[in-house]
Amino acid sequence: MRRIAIVPGDGIGIDVTREAVKVLELLREKRSLDIELSHFDFGAEKYLATGVSLPPEQLEDFRNNYAAIFLGALGDPRIPDMAHARDILFGMRFGLDLYVNMRPVRLLDERLCPLKDRKVGDIQFVVFRENTEGLYVGTGGFFKKGTKDEVALQESVNTYKGVERIIRFAFEYAKENGHTKVTMSDKNNALRFEGDLWVRVFDEVGARYPGIQKEHWFVDALAMQMIKRPEQFQVVVTNNMFGDIVTDIGAQLQGGLGMAASGNINPGGVCMFEPVHGSAPKYAGKNVANPFGAILTAGLMLEHLGYRDEGALVEQAVVRAIRERKTTTDLGGNLGTKETGDAICAIIDAAN
């Protein structure tokens, strides 16, 4: 029995996770998957009531007793500094050393693309976002805070080990999946030190993959090229901050934040899967959030657990629902979150 931890979190994270769980439970039953879902209430409500964000022993429990974690989203206007979300989200990313943030950018239906004349196969690449370093490590500090002489420092930490392993992962993924090009993106024209390390490591690791073309874009130009000619990309690797930004662009290329899936991966350990979007507080509990990003994320998780057919089935069901306009309003349909999840379950149920 493989245990999966379900952490709905906050806001629409709760709404979309409910639908992803329905899909997972249906597949478990129909396809006799050897999985068991355990639910955890970590999030703003618990934090505000008890002061507990992520109990210190929880990561150890996840590490030892779980095959995967599914996270909805975190973020609540009552906790403006995101203290609980930092503990939970970064707690998992850093604490479980989930150094690969895999964010596929796949257009599932050309109607959803904001660009003119783009076909489904035109937008089909993966961004590997470094997930444990860079500007996210939280080092820095204030000096003379609250005065007119205030200094705020936020340091970008890049280690050889960290840069090497994410770039190597991107090349390995490219090789295993028959891709012919890896694109590295940074900002070495302005950010000299980290840029220098990223460029050197990209050259060094890339040299071990003679059959794969190496390409580089400065991240500002990458953002532009993702709009101008997204069909040129296969595998993109970049740092934590830039990866965060360009994957929101990637989400919109697929039809919006409600469509984008992600996996936070440690190749040797328990991994965490979450949609790219946040808790969208204004839509929380209103049955309007698009659950497809979460459902596709559940599919990605199943694939990761070795259930390839089931992962593919989930994606096919989403494709079919979009084609039949069984979607939430952000995609032009008129269904609620729950009814959209029901439609996916009905498609999967009818499939075999």
Site for Mn ion, rule CB under 5 A: 244
- CB-wise, 76 or 109, nearer to ligand IPM? 76
Please give the sequence-ordered ranges of beta strands (E in DSSP) within the chain, or none if there are none: 2-9, 35-39, 68-73, 100-106, 124-130, 140-143, 151-154, 181-186, 213-218, 235-238, 261-265, 271-275
Determine if 87 is a binding residue for ligand IPM (CB under 6 A). no
- Name the binder of 87 from Mn ion, ligand IPM, ligand NAD, none, CB < 5-8 A by kind: none
Q: Angle, to 10 degrees, between the axis of helix 219-228 and the axis of helix 240-253?
A: 10
Determine if 344 is a binding residue for ligand NAD (CB under 6 A). no
CA distances from 51 to 13, 19, 253 (A): 20, 28, 39
CA distances from 76 to 9, 284, 286 (A): 10, 10, 15
Determine if 133 is a binding residue for ligand IPM (CB under 6 A). no
- Name the binder of 330 from ligand IPM, Mn ion, ligand NAD, none, CB < 5-8 A by kind: ligand NAD
Q: How far apart are CA 89 and CA 136, in angstroms?
A: 12
Q: How far apart are CA 72 and CA 283, in angstroms?
A: 14
- CB-wise, 5 or 345, nearer to ligand IPM? 5
Determine if 87 is a binding residue for ligand NAD (CB under 6 A). no
**Footprint (CB under 6 A) of ligand NAD, residues 292-321:** 293
- CB-wise, 136 or 307, nearer to ligand IPM? 136
- CB-wise, 70 or 307, nearer to ligand NAD? 70
Q: Least separation, in Å, of the C-beta of 246 and ligand NAD? A: 14
Q: How many residues bind ligand IPM (CB under 6 A)?
A: 3
Q: Least separation, in Å, of the C-beta of 276 and ligand IPM? A: 6
State the burial class of residue 211 (Cβ atoms within 10 Å of its Cβ: 0-12, 13-18, 19+).
exposed
Q: How far apart are CA 122 and CA 335, in angstroms?
A: 28
Determine if 274 is a binding residue for ligand NAD (CB under 6 A). yes
Determine if 257 is a binding residue for ligand IPM (CB under 6 A). no
- CB-wise, 68 or 276, nearer to ligand IPM? 276
CA distances from 2 to 66, 68, 305, 336 (A): 7, 8, 9, 31
Q: Which residue has the tokens 């039949």?
A: 324
Residue-wise over 136-174: b if at least 16 C-beta within 10 A, else e?
A: bbeeeeeeeeeeeeeeeeeebbbeeebbbbbbbbbbebb
Determine if 15 is a binding residue for ligand IPM (CB under 6 A). no
- CB-wise, 206 or 278, nearer to ligand IPM? 278
Among 26, 59, 82, 120, binds ligand NAD (CB under 6 A): 82
- Closest chain position to Mn ion (CB): 244
- Which among 271, 341, 340, 335 is positioned nearest to 302, based on CA atoms? 271
- Name the binder of 289 from ligand IPM, Mn ion, ligand NAD, none, CB < 5-8 A by kind: ligand NAD
Give the chain's length: 352
In this structure, what are the phi and psi dihedrals at residue 49, rounded to the nearest 5 degrees?
A: -80, -35
Among 6, 44, 67, 276, binds ligand IPM (CB under 6 A): 276
- CB-wise, 89 or 322, nearer to ligand NAD? 89
CA distances from 217 to 129, 179, 182, 220, 227 (A): 15, 18, 11, 8, 14
Among 133, 186, 215, 244, binds ligand IPM (CB under 6 A): 244
Site string for ligand NAD, 10-39 (x = CB under 6 A): --x---x-----------------------
**Could you list the residues that contact ligand NAD (CB under 6 A)?**
12, 16, 73-75, 82, 89, 256-258, 274, 277-280, 289-290, 293, 330
Residue ranges binding ligand IPM (CB under 6 A):
244, 276, 278
